[in-house]
Amino acid sequence: MPGFLILNGPNLNLLGTRQPEVYGRTTLADIETMCRAHGERIGVSVEFEQSNHEGALIDAIHGARGRLDGLILNAGAYTHTSVALMDAISSAEIPAIELHLSNVHAREEFRHVSYIARVAVGVICGFGARGYTLAMDALQSHLEGRS
């Protein structure tokens, strides 16, 4: 069974109460439950993590190297700043999908820049919490050579 790491960056631990008009009312725990249930449906095992620390996110990506089959990363604000996370994804040599709850392209200009997109298979943004299961389907299709 393929294994995915679903990794969440800074401030995403506050989902549900953080700017609900932008990010919705679904908590990260709700999203984890959704992802685990979806993993069972589509035959994918799920590791789900969150950290507010760039180095811990990098360690988690290194930990997936040679062990897991795909990465779904909502790097939060590090998306727009972190060359180190970009390099970690390149070094891990596993396909990655960049994910955002909000449509970052409809927001401030600094959110239009992504270091992650340069090394990702694709980007999903603007679909709220549902983006996580969309990303799982997209990654599975990619691994099966369907996209």
- Indicate which single residue of 39, 76, 133, 139 sits in contact with ligand DQA (rule: CB under 6 A): 76
Q: Per rule CB under 6 A, is residue 77 in the interface with ligand DQA?
A: yes
Tell whether residue 80 is among the known ligand binding residues. yes
> Which listed residue (23, 78, 115, 132) is catalytic?
23
Q: Per rule CB under 6 A, is residue 101 in the interface with ligand DQA?
A: yes
- Indicate which single residue of 50, 74, 82, 133 sits in contact with ligand DQA (rule: CB under 6 A): 74
CA dihedral 28, 33, 37, 40 (to 10 degrees): 90
Give the total of residues touching ligand DQA (CB under 6 A): 10
Q: Per rule CB under 6 A, is residue 39 in the interface with ligand DQA?
A: no
Task: Please name every residue paired with 46 in a beta bridge, in sequence order, or none if there are none.
Answer: 4
Q: Per rule CB under 6 A, is residue 114 in the interface with ligand DQA?
A: no
Q: Per rule CB under 6 A, is residue 111 in the interface with ligand DQA?
A: yes
Is 78 designated active site? no
Binding site for ligand DQA (CB under 6 A): 11, 74, 76-77, 79, 100-102, 104, 111
- Active-site residues, by number, are 23, 100
